[in-house]
Amino acid sequence: MKITLLKSLFLLGAFICFSGLQAQTVSGTVSDASGPLPGASVLVKGTTNGTQTDFDGNYTLNNVADGATLVFSYIGYSTKEIAVNGQSSINVTLSEDAQALDEVVIVGYGTQVRKEITTAVTSVSTEDFNQGVINEPTQLLQGKVAGLNIVNKGGNPNDAPVIRLRGISTVGGNAEPLVVIDGVLGQSLQNVDPSDIENITVLKDGSAAAIYGTRGSAGVILVTTKSGGANQPFKINYNGQFSTQFAANQIELMDREEFLAAGGTDLGSDTDWRDEVTRNAVTQVHNIAATGGSEDANYRVSLNFRDTEGILKNSGFQQFNARTKLTGKILNDKLRVTFNSALTNRESDFGFNEALRYAVVYNPTAPVFGADAPFAFNSPQFGGYFETLGLFDSFNPVSILEQNKNTGVTNTLNYTLDFKYTISDALTATLTAGEQKAKGTNRQYYPTTSFFRGNAVSPFRKGRADFTTFENNNRSLEFYVDFNKQFSEKFKLGVTGGYSFQEFDSNGYYLQIGDFPPGVDFDFSNAIEVSQDLLEAGRIQANSYRNDDDRIIAFFARANATFDDAIYLNASLRREGSSRFGADEQWGLFPSIAVGADLNKYLELDNVNLLKARVGYGVTGATPRNVGLSQTTFSVANGPNGFGSAATGLGTRAPNPGLKWEEKRELNFGIEFAMDRMSATLDLYNRDVVDFITEVNIDAAANQGFSTQFQNGGELNTKGIELSLNYDVIKNDDMSYNSGLIFSTYKSTLEENTGGTRTIANLGAPGQNDTNVILVKEGEEVGQIWGPRFSGEVDANGSPILVDLNGDGELVTAQGDALAENADFEVLGKGLPDFTLGWTNQFQMGNWDVNMFWRGAFGHSLVNAFRAFYEPRIGSQSSYNFVNTDLARDDIRTAQFSSYYVEKASFFRLDNLSIGYNLDLGLDYIKGARISIAGQNLWTITNYTGTDPEASLQDFGPVDNGAVLDTSTPQVLAPGVDRRYNYFTSTTFTLGLNINF
């Protein structure tokens, strides 16, 4: 009787509640312990059929039924569900939860609840970023994402890092991931200051990136910048960093006494050339941000200044960045308008990396200045500096840095307008228009007294000035519609469809002029009219370019379906056209499909929150690096009798109107597991890159004089495994300790190759011009280092004795015979690691927090170019210093490349250690303050004798005797060569201060 009465009362109450449902307005604040959470989300569940709505910390929802439930979520925080029950004001405080399954994750063209994602996606937020001086946004992710390799070998502050996601994704196209900043495709990471970033999401597999078509073939990096909050009082945040940096590792060399004992030429001095060209660098970073907002609008404005020195003297940059983000609501809150703008001015002093190279090999007994030479020397001719005349590839490194200039200025402007209109509870439309404009000038100047590129010893054309100007524009327009509806308790559907347009144009010119008046201490790059080149035709070097027929047009659609809150389906299709191809090959189709299931929904395992299996397949594409490859090129020359009087005709590259898209086809299988304290993700993938685009040699006689052509012809397969583990070792109100581990491994095999079997990656001069060290062969792994094997013995002439590998009694080790059937060559190592590791440790107790991050790469080898050139004790090279590592042998007196100069370069490094303390100052005008100290690249465990054991993921070829390195076309099939022009590694210590007003 009692049970029946309770049931009756419950049913009566439910009837009264549901019969009295009324639509109403609900508002409130979503915050954490420190204040409102801009960018949080609310999901309205119930009679309003599940509308996803974005808001900014403070929210207002119209037409919410009394019986509805609000689901509040934010990336990295536990989700909360609260029933409306007549409440018009609901304030919510979310707590951080690294294992949260209901957090909202940004994906291409929208967001998804984490547990419903069926693709390989990793999201990293502010609290998980690397600490210390971060000059480039991808450094925030270093070692945080399984399968993502970010390498700036040596750490030159003026160099952008090499980014590889799951290995090589293209051979002839752009191998860098697509960058999307606040929803706008293809913007520059250098135009967003790391201090302004809230979250970075990486789309790793083909099924996740296929929605971006050709742009997503190398993966996608989605960057979300920080925002203001609605109904938020005016706040100011200051973040300052001060750091010092010094060389972490140097190549071991001979000092004066060792050099002379080895038979070196004595020039009377004792000079540590590495010390002369390096310094303890100082860097300062200042970031000020102002935020606030009313109920209908909010804003965030930030100013950033960076003054970054490199450890190489006269290298570094100063950068000023201003960013504005404004959001407002109009038309009864149905239309949300967001305006983003960013302006970056960067003044760079590139210095000369060559100074580091020559500091290694320059005679340690040579003086810096000619006046200190023990013999008569014409130092005024060289600006007062000493030079070793008559030697190949030998220049005073201090003179290179002090006499010459290598500077640049770049201005970049971004602006974006984003309109999001709520048509109904289930339907929204978004229009995004954006543009990025970058303009820059680079200047190099070599006075008439410069021996390095200044032609100081020549009676003709002394001095040189180089000018480069460029302008790049990227315009985009995208429109898409989102439909999201909860049709029943067990079925939810989301559909996105839209249109994308991008247009690129670029132009620039290069001018080189010389022959300035000698004997005058003046910078003639500011007075080029005095150049004698102006008086004689043909002496000036000049060229210009313009690319303005470069467009991408696409139509795309995606569907996400959820069944029984446990089975998930994602499918997308993008049809895309590019003007980089011929008329009949411009369009490509890029589909994807992925399914996932939360198996624990049905297994109901104890203490398990999630056990999800997923599988996805996606196709992306890649375009060639250049426009116009389907068109005929012409060469036009200006002769002595006027324009066109010299040879005018076809160029060297044959057109290929049948050139088509590269395709990347990727199958991904993943398992996700989560408990209260532990989570794990395992991904296995198989990727095929087909029809990759390469330039091949063709028969000129049979092709109208054309000697090369870009063709489709090759297939590359990559198989890999990625594992992420995260565990809350300690988690209570007083203390927390979280440890996370990422592991990734892959193998890339060249299945087909139009260019045929060959060796690449020439070591260069002096003496090894014909020494190619990387094998390219069908059916073989990419990055195999190829050469003869050193037996460990040396003959009476000081030549290393090599091994007869095939046992035929004949030693065939000449470089010209490297691919001969009877050659005694073998694989000496490989340039790509067997696997990489990242180990994060985050500890918090009271006001203290500690973050320790270790990173390692294992199984790769490097060709140590410094050792190969300068370690043999060759008598004819007694005017160059000798490399003197632990592997050096006094009895080797001839240069012969072999396994002796190929070293295992596995390493395990304490990449980042930071300690922070939150101050409670008790002041009304200071809401909070934090001080921190951080160290980067603190300790490395390795047996590699070079300066940096980091894997070399691509190669730019050799450069010597003052030539300029061409970095425009990296060779991705040639990893594993540690070149002589690489920057030295450094260790950094940083003091940080953060204040909230």
Distance CA 333, CA 436 (A): 29
SS3 449: coil
pLDDT of 432 over the 80 cut: yes
Contact 723, 744 (CB under 8 A): yes
Between 639 and 534, the more confident residue is: 534
pLDDT of 878 over the 70 cut: yes
Distance CA 59, CA 329 (A): 11
Q: What is the pLDDT of residue 864?
A: 97
Distance CA 967, CA 305 (A): 28
Q: Give me the residue label for tokens 């043999």.
A: 872
Peptide bond into 766 cis (omega under 30): yes
Q: What is the pLDDT of residue 10?
A: 39
Cross-strand bridge partners of residue 617: 593, 667
Q: What is the pLDDT of residue 917?
A: 93
Confidence of residue 14 (pLDDT cuts 50, 70, 90): very low
Measured torsion, CA atoms of residues 173, 177, 178, 179, in degrees rounded to the nearest 10 = -140
Q: What is the pLDDT of residue 94?
A: 76
pLDDT of 41 over the 60 cut: yes
Q: What is the pLDDT of residue 295?
A: 84
Q: What is the pLDDT of residue 188?
A: 82
* The Cα angle at residue 630 between residues 628 and 632, in degrees rounded to 5: 80
Which of 18-27, 559-568, 732-741, 922-931 comes out lowest in average pLDDT?
A: 18-27
pLDDT tens profile 654-687: 888 989 888 999 999 999 999 988 999 999 999 9
pLDDT tens profile 346-380: 999 999 999 999 999 999 999 999 999 888 788 89
Q: Which CATH superfamily is domain 22-95 in?
A: Immunoglobulins (2.60.40.10)
Strands (E), 447-528: 464-488, 491-514
Which of 13-17, 216-220, 469-473 comes out lowest in average pLDDT?
A: 13-17
Nearest to 62 by CA among 27, 96, 109: 27
Q: What is the pLDDT of residue 991?
A: 95
Which of 30-39, 364-373, 524-533, 617-626 comes out lowest in average pLDDT?
A: 30-39
Q: What is the pLDDT of residue 77?
A: 66
- Cα atoms in the 13 Å half-sphere on the side-chain side of 538: 8
Average confidence (pLDDT) over 129-148? 83
Q: What is the pLDDT of residue 217?
A: 87
Cross-strand bridge partners of residue 896: none
Strands (E), 313-404: 316-330, 335-349
Confidence of residue 49 (pLDDT cuts 50, 70, 90): very low
Q: What is the pLDDT of residue 973?
A: 93
Q: What is the pLDDT of residue 2?
A: 39
Between 646 and 172, the more confident residue is: 172
Q: What is the pLDDT of residue 24?
A: 75
Q: What is the pLDDT of residue 645?
A: 42
* Mean per-residue pLDDT over the chain, rounded: 88
Distance CA 913, CA 834 (A): 26
Nearest to 450 by CA among 524, 376, 510: 524
pLDDT of 576 over the 90 cut: yes
pLDDT tens profile 50-108: 444 555 567 888 778 776 778 887 755 667 778 787 788 888 877 655 455 667 788 88
The structure's pTM equals: 0.86
Nearest to 199 by CA among 40, 312, 82, 48: 40
Distance of CA 59 to the CA centre of its chain: 36
Q: What is the pLDDT of residue 44?
A: 79
* The Cα angle at residue 373 between residues 372 and 376, in degrees rounded to 5: 120
pLDDT of 636 over the 50 cut: yes
pLDDT of 927 over the 90 cut: no
- What share of the chain in percent tops pLDDT 90? 60
Cross-strand bridge partners of residue 823: none
- What share of the chain in percent tops pLDDT 70? 92
Pairing between β-strand 567-578 and β-strand 587-598 as defined by DSSP bridges: antiparallel
Contact 870, 883 (CB under 8 A): yes
Confidence of residue 771 (pLDDT cuts 50, 70, 90): very high
Nearest to 71 by CA among 94, 39, 45: 45
Measured torsion, CA atoms of residues 309, 311, 314, 318, in degrees rounded to the nearest 10 = -10
Q: What is the DSSP string of 461-481?
A: S--EEEEEEEEEEEEEEEEEE
- Residue 776 carries which side chain, given as an amino acid letter? V
Q: State in Å, rounded, how far the first CA of the chain is from the last one.
A: 63
Residues 6+ apart with CB under 8 A from 658: 582, 584, 585, 630
pLDDT of 782 over the 90 cut: yes
Average confidence (pLDDT) over 741-768? 92
Between 700 and 346, the more confident residue is: 346
The ranges of the chain annotated as CATH 2.170.130.10 are 110-225
Between 127 and 450, the more confident residue is: 450
Token pair recorded at residue 498: 């839209």
pLDDT tens profile 459-515: 888 999 999 999 999 999 999 999 999 999 899 999 999 999 999 999 999 999 999
Instruction: Kindly state the helix (H) or strand (E) to which residue 781 belongs, with its residue range.
Output: strand 780-781
pLDDT tens profile 719-748: 999 999 999 999 887 899 999 999 999 999
Confidence of residue 39 (pLDDT cuts 50, 70, 90): low
Architecture of the domain defined by 110-225:
Beta Complex (2.170)
Q: What is the pLDDT of residue 700?
A: 81
Token pair recorded at residue 144: 């945080």
The ranges of the chain annotated as CATH 2.60.40.10 are 22-95
Residues 6+ apart with CB under 8 A from 975: 774, 782, 783, 831, 832, 860, 951, 952, 953, 954, 955
224 DSSP 8-state letter:
E
Q: Give me the residue label for tokens 């270093």.
A: 142
